[in-house]
Amino acid sequence: MIRKYVFGEPIDTGAVVADQPAEKDPIPYFEVLAEEEQIRLRLRMDPDEVVFGLGESVRGINKRGHRYRSWNSDVFNHTEERDSLYASHNLLVFFRPDRLFGIYVDDPGAITWDLGYTQMDLAEILLENGAASVWLIEEPGLREIAAAFRSLTGRSYLAPRWAFGYIQSRWGYASEAEVRKVAEEHRKRHIPLDGICMDIDYMQDYRNFTWNREAFPDLPRTVREMKQDHIHLIPIIDAGIPVREDDETYVSGKEKDVFCKKADGSDFVAAVWPGRCVFPDFLRKETRAWFGERYRELLEAGMEGFWNDMNEPALFYSDESLQEAFEKVRALQGENLGLEGTGQLKDAVNAMANNPEDYRRFYHRFNGRTVRHDRVHNLFGASMTRATAEGLRAYAPDRRFLLFSRSSFIGAHRDGGIWQGDNFSWWSHLRLALQMLPNLNLCGFLYCGCDLGGFGCNTTEDLLERFLQLGVFMPLMRNHSALHTREQEIYRFSIWPMMRDTVSVRYALLPYLYSEYMKAALGNGMLFRPLAFDYPEDRRAVGTEDQVMWGEGCMIAPVLTQNAAGRYVYLPEDMLMIRFRSASDYDLIPLEKGDHYVELPLGAFPLFVKKNHAVLLSRGGEHTDEVDEEHFILLGQVTEDTEYALYRDDGVGVSPILAEHLTRIPIPPQENRSERFCPRPGRN
Ligand code: MIG
C-alpha cells in the first residue's frame, strides 16, 4: 500500500509516474515538527532496526549510525565523513521484526537524514525546503517495497546488451592513435573489450559537441572502424557551455535563450573545464529539446553511448565568487600571516568552488514559475540526463543507447545509469563500491558500477584484480582512472593474463547477467540486494555488510582486503560455491549453511548459487557479439525439478515484453553441472 502526504507546497519533480491524492490524516510513525521554514520528521528506532536506502552515499549497506545530506556535490574524496555525494536518492526503508515500511521524500532541495547520529535511537529527516511530497510504502516484505517503489517511480533504464561488456576508460586519451592503441592492446592479448570511453580530452578546448579535428581527423571513420571491431566509442558530455562567440552550442543556446539566469536577467556565468561557462536550464522542456538535438553530429558519426559529467552542477568559481576571493586575498596582502591568517587565505580560495552562495545566484524557469536554483538543485543532473535521453529517443525511437551520468535523482533511473563517481584506488573504496550497489538498485538505479581500479590515486596490480572480480557482476564494468595517476589498463600489468581471465568470466556469465538484469528491470526487481531481502528472518544475514545477493539465485562475497588468500563467508543456506579462475577453469564446491573460510588466492573469486537454482555459463568471447547464447553449462545443485527462465532479445529494442523473450529451460535434478543446448525461440 502506498500513501501520499503533502507538506508545504511541493515542487513537481517528475519523479513519480503514478500520482495519487494525498491523505488527510497525519503521517503515521513520524512526529512532525514544523520549524520556521523547515520541517522535521522524527522517528524512534528500535535497537535492532535496520535502515536501507539513500542509494549513492558513503558508509554501509545499513545506513544507520550517521548523517547524510541530499545535496548533489562534486566531491573528490569519498571519506566516511562525506554527507553528500553526486546524487540524491531520497528513499529509506526501516526494517525491524515487527515493523517494515519505506519512506520516499520527493523534493529537489536539500534534505538532511540524521539516522542515529545525534542520538542513536532517533531518525530525523529535515526538509530544508519546508515542502515535499512524502510517500509511505507499506508491503509485507522488503522486495515488495522495492517493487512498489518502482511502480511509483517508473521502470528502470534498459541498457543495450553491448553495454554489459568490458569498457576501458581513462582521463587522458587525447588522440585517435591513443584510442586505437587501447583497442589493439586488448585485442592482441585477447582481453575482452566492448567500449572505450572518451574523456574531455577528445573535445576541442573542452567544448561539448566538438572534437579536436587534428587529433581525430576523421572521427566518423574511426567510430565506424572501431565498431567493425565490436568496440564502441563513448564520449563524455559536460554540463557547462563555454561563453564563446565561436562556439556553436553557445550561439544557438543564446538564440534560443536556454541558459540559467541571475536575478537581473543576465546569464549566470561560472567556470568549469573550458573556463567561463553558462548552464542550460535543463528543467525546461524547450532547453532539453535544444540540448538533445545537439547530439546529432555525434550520433551521425555512429556514437551509441554517452556519459554525462559535472552535472551537479560542479562550479569551479562564478564571476562573483572569484571576485570575492580576490578581494579577500588582497585584504590579507602585506599582513603577517600566522595560523589564522594563513587559514583565511586558504579558505578564501577554496570557497570559490561549489560555493553554496553560487547555487543561490541563479534561477530556473520551471513549470511556468521562476525558481531559485538551490530550491531545485538536486534535479539538475537528472534533468540533463533526461535531456540526453529525450534527444536519443527523438533521434532513434526504436533503439536503446548507453547513457550514464554522474549526478542523478530518483526519476533519472528511467533514463540512464550512473557511475559512482571519483573513487580512489583504495581497498576501502572497493568495499564502499560493493555496499552502494544494493542501495542503488533499491532506488531504481540498476545500471551502475564504480571506476574499477579506482579513479584517483595510483592503483596496484592486486587492487585492480580484486576490483575486476567485483566488476564481473556490475552491469557497468568500466576501468577508469584520472589524469596523472598510474596507467591502469589491464595490459600495463605483469598479471594481465590473470586479469584477462577474470574479465573472461564476465563474458561467460553475460547471457545470465543480461537475463537477470532485464528481468529485474522489466519486473521492478533488483539485481543486487542486501541479504536481508532474501533472508529477512536471519539476523546474521540482515547484518551482513560485505556480501550481497546477485540475480535471483546467487550471492557474491568478494575479497576486499590486500594480501588476503581468502575470506570468511556466511551462508544463510546451503549453496554451491563456484570458485572461478577463468571462464573455463573453476571449482564447484557445495557448502552448508553457516560460516566458512574460503580460500581465494589472487585470481580466484567466488559465486554462490542457492539450491535448486542454476547459473548459465557460456563459452564467453572477446566482445558481447561473440558470446554464444545457445550453448550453456548449467551450474547448480538441483534436487528437485526446476526451471530457469532465460531472457534473450536483440539487445537494442526499446520496449521488450518480458514474456515474449523468455525461454523456459527445464532443469532436472542434477549434480552440480550439466550441459545444455537452448536454441533461441523462433529458430530451428
Ligand atoms: O573534474 O572529465 O568524475 O570521471 O574523468 C574532473 C574528467 C572531471 C570528473 C569525472 C571523471 C572524469 C573527469 N571529471
pLDDT tens digits, residue range 197-240? 999 999 999 999 999 999 999 999 999 999 999 999 999 999 99
Summarised one tens digit per residue, pLDDT across range 303-353 is 999 999 999 999 999 999 999 999 999 999 999 999 999 999 999 999 999
Q: Could you tell me if 45 and 117 are in contact, meaning their C-beta atoms sit under 8 angstroms apart?
A: no
Ligand 1 atom having least distance to the Cα of 421: 3
Span 586-605, average pLDDT: 98
Ligand 1 centroid to Cα of residue 350, in Å, is: 19
Q: What are phi and psi of 509, to 5 degrees?
A: -85, -5
Ligand 1 atom having least distance to the Cα of 169: 5
Q: Provide the 10 A C-beta neighbour count for residue 421.
A: 21
- Statement: residue 518 has pLDDT above 80: yes
Which residues, other chains included, contact 100 with Cβ-Cβ below 8 Å and sequence gap of 6+? 93, 94, 138, 139, 140, 141, 142, 145
Within a 13 Å sphere around the CA of 122, how many CA atoms are in the beta-carbon half? Answer: 11
Q: Determine whether the shortest distance from the Cβ of 312 to ligand 1 is under 6 A.
A: no
Q: What is the pLDDT of residue 36?
A: 83
Ligand 1 centroid to Cα of residue 273, in Å, is: 10
The Cα–Cα gap between 517 and 523 comes to 10
Give the mean pLDDT of the chain: 97
Q: What percent of the chain has pLDDT over 90?
A: 96
Ligand 1 centroid to Cα of residue 586, in Å, is: 37
Within a 13 Å sphere around the CA of 282, how many CA atoms are in the beta-carbon half? Answer: 31
Please tell me the pTM assigned to this model. Answer: 0.97
Ligand 1 centroid to Cα of residue 483, in Å, is: 9
Ligand 1 atom having least distance to the Cα of 200: 2
The Cα–Cα gap between 359 and 356 comes to 5
Q: Determine whether the shortest distance from the Cβ of 170 to ligand 1 is under 6 A.
A: no
The closest of 489, 501, 521, 683 to 160, measured between CA atoms, is 521
Instruction: Map 516-530 to HEC letters.
Output: HHHHHHHCCCCCEEC
Take atom 8 of ligand 1 and give the residue whose Cα is closest. 310
The closest of 438, 429, 396 to 541, measured between CA atoms, is 438
Q: What is the pLDDT of residue 672?
A: 87
Ligand 1 atom having least distance to the Cα of 307: 4
Ligand 1 centroid to Cα of residue 421, in Å, is: 8
Span 121-144, average pLDDT: 98
Ligand 1 atom having least distance to the Cα of 238: 2
Q: Determine whether the shortest distance from the Cβ of 200 to ligand 1 is under 6 A.
A: yes
Ligand 1 centroid to Cα of residue 236, in Å, is: 9
Summarised one tens digit per residue, pLDDT across range 605-633 is 999 999 999 999 999 999 999 999 999 99
Q: Could you tell me if 366 and 284 are in contact, meaning their C-beta atoms sit under 8 angstroms apart?
A: yes
Ligand 1 centroid to Cα of residue 308, in Å, is: 10
Q: Determine whether the shortest distance from the Cβ of 238 to ligand 1 is under 6 A.
A: no
Span 360-365, average pLDDT: 97
- The C-alpha cell at 548 is 550481497
Q: Determine whether the shortest distance from the Cβ of 421 to ligand 1 is under 6 A.
A: yes
Q: Determine whether the shortest distance from the Cβ of 171 to ligand 1 is under 6 A.
A: yes
Q: What is the pLDDT of residue 523?
A: 97
Residue 682: pLDDT band (50, 70, 90) is: low
Take atom 6 of ligand 1 and give the residue whose Cα is closest. 310
Q: Could you tell me if 62 and 545 are in contact, meaning their C-beta atoms sit under 8 angstroms apart?
A: yes
- The C-alpha cell at 194 is 566492448
